[in-house]
Structure 1
Amino acid sequence: MARHDARNWHDCSKMIGLLCLVASILLQHGASGQRVKVEPEVLSYLGQTVNLRCAFSDPTGIQLTMVTWIYEPKEGERINIAVFHPSFDPSYPQSPVTGRVSFTPSPPNLASPSIEISNVGMTDEGKYICEYATYPSGNEQGITYLVMLAKPQNSASIVAAVAGNKPVVVARCESVDGRPAAKISWVTTANGNATTVAKLGTDNTETMISEYRMVPTPADNGKDLSCVVAHRTQVKPESFHLKLAVQYAPQVTIVGYDNNWYVGRTNVALTCQASGNPTPTTIQWKTMSGEMPDTVQITDNVLKVLKVDDSVNTTFVCEVKNRIGVGKDQVTVMVRGTRLPSKGATTGSIIGAIIGVVILLAIIGTAIAMYRKHRNKLSGDGPPKHKPPPPKKTNGSASRQPNASNVPVAENTPLQNQYYNTQSAEPVTDLDAYHDEEDHAEEEREHYHSAAPSGWDDPGNNEVPPPYMRTDSDPQDYHQGPNVNRGESFVSPAMYV
């Protein structure tokens, strides 16, 4: 058991040692990669001078022997362009940058052996490597990418196209002599697609050409189309706004015929409306019979009939031409013997008008009612809020002589008694009481007149007072009239209402 544990411990210690060795190698490699400090990317335009910086950040415990700058183009082999050793003068081997490269500052030092290249060209773009020879760790390096920029010349134009059934080029956009290559896109509502090709320009620049293709139709004429060019040298994309130019033959329509041309009608006209690209040049009116009626006058695109007769009963043709082709339209006129009846208002319009009037009247009525109610509240008018007091009995002698014929006189009887009196089974014998009732009726009349609402006059002998002046539940207001024999008078017995 102890021997087995010893073997496991031995295997474990070997694995730990291996992991430590790998870690030390990685750490050493990482440290060496970080110690050579360079710029990852340098941008430059044609003809400028660029500075490629390099430095060894921590040379403690390491002896710096020599530094070499190496140029590696995108296509080709590595080339030494500058070498410096402390014991010798700087060396510049033969290379594409010979005569234009030098160490800076001068004389150089191993701690910061930067270089500069003057009058750079597009072919100078590529990878530049600063490599140190050190002891005891060996060679260490840093890489800088030199990116050459060239601002392109951008433009866009419309290509006139004729309406048809096949895709054709309707617009072109170009970005000439740019570095790196520009990106071109299109923005439009037209139904088409773009194709873009790249061409190698002068001094290692690139020219991008994009064409927009579609099947042109007359409806596409005048639609908006924009070419957008994006490039690294531009702060924002450059946009070119265009309008499609689609050429097509004239499209013709005749208007003005209402199917109610009758014999004797005067001053009717047909108008020939046409659209086309380019603009139509000629407009010509014809008839299917070949002869134009004598009552017809033609002015440009208007055919006017002074007086309708049987000769107008034909087919009129309007023919329009432009550079692309010919377009035409025709109308067949049917001359009627009599005029067609004019159309009246539709049922829906009538119903709508009636409903509108009813709603308006309802609104007016509601407004008037609310106004009157508000006015009555302000003026205090309205029905009395209490009953008049009952009549008081007096002992005064009767001042009125009874009717000799025992027939009550209507004009001498108060209105209330005429309206509510009923025929009694017994005649009236108390004349004084009857006289008191007469006096009380006069008082009630005066009281009623003073409390009547505005707009209601004092009731006459033949008028009926408002219902609130009398109720059947008031026993003190009920008076019994004299008993009159039907054989002695033509007045019918009183009735309850």
Structure 2
Amino acid sequence: MARHDGRKWHDCTKMIGLLCLVASILTKQGVAGQRVKVEPEVLSYPGQTVNLRCAFTDSTGIQLTMVTWLYEPKEGERINIAVLHPKFEPNYPESPVKGRVSFSSSPPDMTSPSIQISNVRMTDEGKYICEYATYPIGNEQGVTYLVMLAKPQNSASIVTVQAGTKPVVVARCESVDGRPAAEISWVTAASGNGTMVRKVGADNTVTVTSEYRMVPTAADNGKDISCVVAHRTQSKPESFPMKLAVEYAPQVTIVGYDNNWYVGRTNVMLTCQATGNPVPLTAHWKSMSGEMPETVQIRDNELKVLKVDDAVNTTFVCEVKNRIGTSRDQVTVFVREPSVNPSNAGVVAGAVIGSLLALLLVVALISVLVTRSRRQQQGYRANGGNDMKTRIFGGGKKASKNGTGGGAGSGGVGGSNNNGPIYVYNESSAHQGLGEKNNHHQPLTMGGRPEVVATTPTAQDILLSNELDDAERRKFDELAEEEERYDHFTGGAPILQLRPHSDQDDMIGDYLDDDMESQRDGSVISRTAVYV
């Protein structure tokens, strides 16, 4: 057990010692490597002169024996291109850069043996090693990478294709003669992918070609696609925006039919809408029933029906073609019976209702007027002021200037009587007794002679007298004839007679109708004398 533990301890000690030795060697190499200072990378374009710097930072206690520059291409072995010895002239062995390489300082300095290469080429790219031979520490070196740059020529193009079912190249993008190789990417909404091919040129440049492949459809035509080229010589990626070009046969659609073509409808239209690549130029219309109806007019892609009739009850076909193919669409028209336009239904209903309301208003107004007229007629017949026929007796034919007539004594004999009584005849009272119903006048005694004050007929009474019926008019005519007999009476002077109250039923006012006499001046007086 003890022997086993001792063996393990011995192995561990040996391992630790080995690790310490490796670390020591790496540390010494790191310190020695840091003495030769070079640039890690140098960039240059073809035709330029490039400087490759090198220097030994601390040569204390060290003897610099010789400096050698070596060139190591990406593919090949190392080649000496320049050698510097303190006791000899600089030497430039055979190499791809001989005649173009030289030490930068003259005379060259062992502590700073930088070189320059003029008219650099793309093939000059690679590792350049500055190596010191020293005593007593041996060789020391530093490595510089020369990177040759070439700005490429970038371009992109669209490939016109036809819609199909197999993947094809729809766009190309190239970056020609670049160094290093360019990076190409694609930006698009189309469903596809890009491929990339690199080709190295004779002068070590690289041409990169990328193609975008997809299954083209009609919907992809006109979609955006961009090629983006990124290169070290460019401050930012270069973009080439394009649009996909996919050719396809026409796609046809007929619009304008609203399924409401009725007999008599005018100016309805069908429009043939077609898309395609190449763009179709013309559209051809035809009818499945044969000849086009007479009311149809065709202009380009429009079919106009001037007036719908039974001949329009057919199927219209629109056919469109281009270089890729021919397509068509059709619409079957069903001609319906005329119907009221729903948009005018409200107007028609409003007009009908308005007319009915107006008619009812007129009827109601006429009814009110007729009812009112009948009520007024009945009201005038019911009172003394209605349906009156007024007759003015005397007084107005030979009136004196002062309105009074000269008498021949208190007996009323002789002379004219211009202040004769004015009688108002009421037909309704003619059947009931004049003495009882006629209150339009009362006898008065003034200055010893009888006076009669009568009511003057109004214009309304006269107008309403025109409304009397035929029977009433006949009664009025008889009364007028009797009055004419009184007017033409030429007898002697009137004799006034008093009658008892029992005879007052036949009296007009306080006078009997058979006791009245007409005078020559047109007045009427009673035969009965009244003395006071």
Q: Normalized against structure 1, the TM-score is what?
A: 0.65
Which whole-Å deviations, capped at 9, do the CAs of 1:369-419 have from their partners, x for residues lacking one?
Answer: xxxxxxxxxxxxxxxxxxxxxxxxxxxxxxxxxxxxxxxxxxxxxxxxxxx
Aligned 1:218-367 pairs, distance under 5 A: 218-339=218-339, 342=342
Kindly provide the CA deviation profile for residues 242-278 of structure 1, in whole angstroms up to 9, marking residues without a partner as x: 1112221111111111112122222211111111122
Partner secondary structure for residue 113 of structure 1: coil
Q: Provide the rounded CA distance (Å) in 2 between the counterparts of 1:163 and 1:11.
A: 76
Query: Which residue of the partner structure matches residue 124 of structure 1?
Result: 124
Match for 1:222: what amino acid? G
Q: Which amino acid aligns with 1:31?
A: V
Post-superposition CA distance 1:133-158 (Å, at most 9, x none) = 11111111111111000000011111
The one-letter code matched in structure 2 to 1:244 is L
Is 1:184 aligned to residue 176 of structure 2?
Answer: no
Q: Which secondary structure state, in structure 1, belongs to the residue aligned with residue 22 of structure 2?
A: helix
The aligned amino acid for 1:94 is: E
Deviation at 1:336, TM superposition (A): 1.8
Code of the residue aligned with 1:162 in structure 2: it is Q
Structure 1 residues 52, 247: CA separation in 2 closer, same or farther (over 3 Å shift)?
A: same
Amino acid at match of 1:250: P
Query: Is 1:91 aligned with 2:62?
Result: no
Q: Contact 1:51 / 1:114 at 8 angstroms: preserved in 2?
A: yes
8 Å Cα contact 1:260/1:340 also seen in 2: no
What does 1:53-64 align with in structure 2 at a 5 Å threshold? 53-64=53-64
> 1:110 maps to what in 2?
110
CA-CA distance at 1:104 after TM superposition: 1.2
| Segment drifting more, 266-275 vs 11-20 | 11-20
SS across alignment from 2:27: helix
Matched AA of 1:223: K
Q: Does 1:133 find its partner at 2:133?
A: yes
Counterpart-to-counterpart distance in 2, 1:135 and 1:73 = 29
Change beyond 3 A, Cα 1:329–1:147? same
CA drift at 1:26 = 2.0
Paired AA for residue 277 in structure 2: N
C-alpha deviation, 1:28, in angstroms: 1.3
Task: Output the CA distance in 2 between the equivalents of 1:198 and 1:8.
Answer: 58
CA contact (8 A) 1:177 1:202 kept: no
The amino acid of 2:228's aligned partner reads V
SS in 1 for 2:342: coil
Task: From the superposition, tell whether residues 310 and 91 of structure 1 become closer, same or farther in structure 2 (CA, over 3 Å).
Answer: same
Q: Which residue of 2 aligns with 1:495?
A: none
Seen in structure 2, the aligned counterparts of structure 1 residues 76 and 18 have a Cα distance that, compared at 3 Å, is closer
Shift of 1:17: 6.0
**Residue 96 of structure 1, CA deviation:** 0.4
Aligned CA-pair RMSD: 2.6
Note the C-alpha offset of 1:342: 3.2
Give the direction of change, closer, same or farther, for the CA distance of 1:9–1:149 in structure 2 (3 Å limit): closer
Going from structure 1 to structure 2, the CA distance change for 1:127 and 1:340 (only over 3 Å counts) comes to farther
Name the CA shift for 1:11/1:274 in 2 (closer, same or farther; >3 Å).
closer
> Take 2:229 and 2:113, find their aligned partners in 1: how far apart are those partners?
40
Whole-angstrom CA distance in 1 between matches of 2:294 and 2:265: 15
User: Which one-letter code corresponds to 1:140 in the other structure?
Assistant: E
**Matches of residues 368-379 of structure 1 in structure 2 within 5 Å?**
none
CA drift of 1:11 comes to 9.1
Deviation at 1:13, TM superposition (A): 8.3
Question: Match for 2:299: what amino acid?
Answer: T
Which residue in the other structure is 2:431 paired with? none
Structure 1: gaps (5+ residues): 346-497
Assess, with a 3 A threshold, how the Cα gap between structure 1 residues 67 and 341 changes in structure 2: closer, same or farther.
Answer: same
1:248–1:181 distance in 2 versus 1, CA, 3 Å: same
Aligned partner letter, 1:36: V
SS at match of 1:306: strand
Residues 203-235 of structure 1, C-alpha deviations (whole Å, 9 max, x = no match):
111111111111112221221111110000001
Find the counterpart in structure 1 of residue 196 from structure 2.
196
Matched, 1:164 2:164: yes
Task: Tell me by how many angstroms 1:59 deviates.
Answer: 1.2
Decide which moves more: 225-234 or 262-271.
262-271
Partner of 2:383: none
Structure 1 counterpart SS, 2:30: helix
Contact 1:184 1:228 in 2 (8 A): yes
The CA deviation string for residues 424-443 of structure 1, in whole angstroms up to 9 with x for no partner, is xxxxxxxxxxxxxxxxxxxx
Deviations 1:63-102 (A, max 9, x none): 1100100111111111110001001000000000000000
CA distance in 1, matches of 2:287, 2:330: 9
Alignment of 1:206-221 (within 5 A): 206-221=206-221
Q: How does 1:449-488 map to 2 (within 5 A)?
A: none
Relative to structure 1, the CA distance from residue 284 to residue 187 in structure 2 (aligned partners, 3 Å threshold; closer, same or farther) is same
Q: Secondary structure at the match of 2:120?
A: coil
Shift of 1:341: 6.3
The residue aligned with 2:480 is none
CA contact (8 A) 2:267 2:307 kept: yes
What is the distance in 2 between the residues matched to 1:187 and 1:23? 52
Check the 8 A contact 2:164/2:216 in 1, yes or no. Answer: yes
Judging changes above 3 Å, is the alpha-carbon distance between structure 1 residues 60 and 9 closer, same or farther for their aligned structure 2 residues? farther
Per-residue CA distance 1:92-145 (angstroms, 9 max, x = gap): 000000000001101111101110000000110111111111111111111111
Q: Is the 8 A contact 1:260 1:339 kept in 2?
A: no
Instruction: Give the C-alpha shift of residue 177 in structure 1.
Output: 0.4
Closer, same or farther: CA 98–267 of 1 in aligned 2, 3 Å: same
Output the CA distance in 1 between the equivalents of 2:197 and 2:99.
37
Kindly provide the CA deviation profile for residues 43-77 of structure 1, in whole angstroms up to 9, marking residues without a partner as x: 00000000011111111121110010011111111
Quick one: structure 1 residues 294 and 7, their matched pair in 2 at CA, closer, same or farther if it must change by over 3 Å? closer
Q: What is the identity, as a one-letter code, of the residue corresponding to 2:182?
A: A
In the other structure, the counterpart of 2:51 is 51
Q: Which runs of 5+ in 2 are unaligned?
A: 346-532
Question: Secondary structure of 1:272's partner?
Answer: strand
User: Residue 73 of structure 2 aligns with which residue?
Assistant: 73
**Residue 18 to residue 167, structure 1, CA distance change in 2 (3 Å):** closer
| DSSP-derived class of the 1:48 partner | coil
The SS at the match of 1:203 is coil
| Aligned counterparts of 1:93 and 1:151: Cα–Cα separation in 2 | 32
SS of alignment partner, residue 32 of structure 1: helix
Whether the aligned pair in 1 keeps the contact of 2:282 and 2:301 (CA below 8 Å) is no
Partners of 2:142 and 2:54 in 1: CA distance: 8
Counterpart Cα distance in 2 of 1:333 and 1:12: 102
After superposition, the Cα gap between the structure-2 partners of 1:90 and 1:296, relative to the gap in structure 1 and judged at 3 Å, is: same
CA distance in 2, matches of 1:81, 1:121: 16
1:77 partner SS: coil
